Amino acid sequence: MPLKTTFRPANTPRKGRGAGINPDGRFEEQTRVSFDDGWGDAGEDDAPALKTIVTVEHAKSIISRNTSPDVPFTQSINPYRGCEHGCIYCYARPTHAYLNLSPGIDFETRLFAKTNAAELLRAELARPGYRCATIALGANTDPYQPVEREYGITRNILEVLAACDHPLNIVTKNALVERDIDVLAPMAEKNLVRVYVSINNRDHDLARRLEPRCSAPTRRLQTIARLAAAGIPVGVLVAPVIPFLTDHEIEPVLEAAAAAGASSAGYVLMRLPLEVKELFRDWLAAHYPLKADHVMSRVQQMRGGRDNDSAFGARMRGQGELATLLRRRFEIACKRHGLHIGERGAALDHSLFKAPRPDGQLGLF
């Protein structure tokens, strides 16, 4: 009996993964192209789900700094490189090219865990020249992605910051943040922490395709409620807003988040830098072929005729009449539901910070 082989189209997503392709990074000298030689029938095969491979990384430093005028923080920490959530639109995907890995499937299956993060953080906070400024946790990749259950790097970072009374902001799409309420609640009592839960739609079918390993939208709303009940200031981040896919969800998401206990909100228009443009177009063709042209046309109308606009001030919100309309809708909905926009609420307290001793011991006074 002849063996039956099946050709797997390059843009067929694997179960539980966001990207359907694994293009070479922009720094590679050679590229690979999938080719159907005609020996198999086109269609999805029975290939096993791709496993996540985690490499321990001994980082040399842990606090990243930026001076971007449209980013509301100057310091950030990313416990992991790559993100298992697999959000197809993730603007951090191109960073994997620096590791000679693909921003596609590699980004969500080849992860790097900075297991010495807490040790490095303690040392950096103890330096004589350190000046306390709010640290953003999860600015690039999610600090509560699934592998955090095993590695606990984010938990260790929180314990260092809590011991030093250091202020921080957290952004996540995972209900795992509830695990750390015992650390976050006492920090909240001192006005040292604010958590943002990212939700851009309430459609579970869409979310499963768009953000395959994030907590479900309903579960994220429950997380907002549980954080708020614990006295932790929590906001909702409607991000990214994707024309014709999630833009109609702005008002319902804000309403649901406010009802759950959110006190503030923000939004970001979808960004498609570098390889993300190709990945997102491929995803659209695979999942929403009838909408693909409409989505990209609307994106370009808000991006000066391009797929992406990296200019400060425009990259987060877009430009033109449609972008202005989007902003007004968001502002009106926030006002209706009593949500502060961005960080207009009370600022976090920086005056309580006490540097740890380099030897890790606590002082007597």
Structure confidence by residue, pLDDT tens digits, 5-44: 333 344 556 666 656 556 666 555 555 545 443 344 444 4
Sorted by where each starts, the structural domains of the chain and their CATH numbers stand as: 55-341 (3.80.30.30)
pTM of the model: 0.86
Residue 295: enclosing H or E segment and its boundaries?
helix 292-301
User: Burial of 67 by CB count in 10 Å (0-12 exposed, 13-18 middle, 19+ buried)?
Assistant: exposed
Peptide bond preceding 240 in cis form (omega within 30 of 0)? yes
pLDDT at 44: 47
Per-residue model confidence as pLDDT tens digits over 277-331? 999 999 999 999 999 999 999 999 999 999 999 999 889 999 999 999 999 999 9
CA 214 distance to own-chain centroid:
10
Kindly state the tokens that stand for 6.
């099946």
Question: Tens digit of pLDDT for each residue in 82-123?
Answer: 999 999 999 999 999 999 999 999 999 999 999 999 999 999
Cα–Cα distance measured from residue 238 to residue 254, given in angstroms and rounded to the nearest whole number: 8
Please give the single-letter amino acid code of residue 232. Answer: I
* 190 residue type, one letter: K
DSSP state, residue 318: -
Strand residues in the chain grouped as ranges (E): 6-7, 41-42, 53-57, 64-65, 75-77, 80-81, 110-114, 135-137, 168-172, 193-198, 234-241, 264-269, 340-341
Tokens standing for residue 247: 């833009």
**What's the CA gap between 139 and 71, in Å, rounded?**
10
Residue listed under structure tokens 């449209």: 70
Rounded CA-CA distance 267/54 in Å is 31
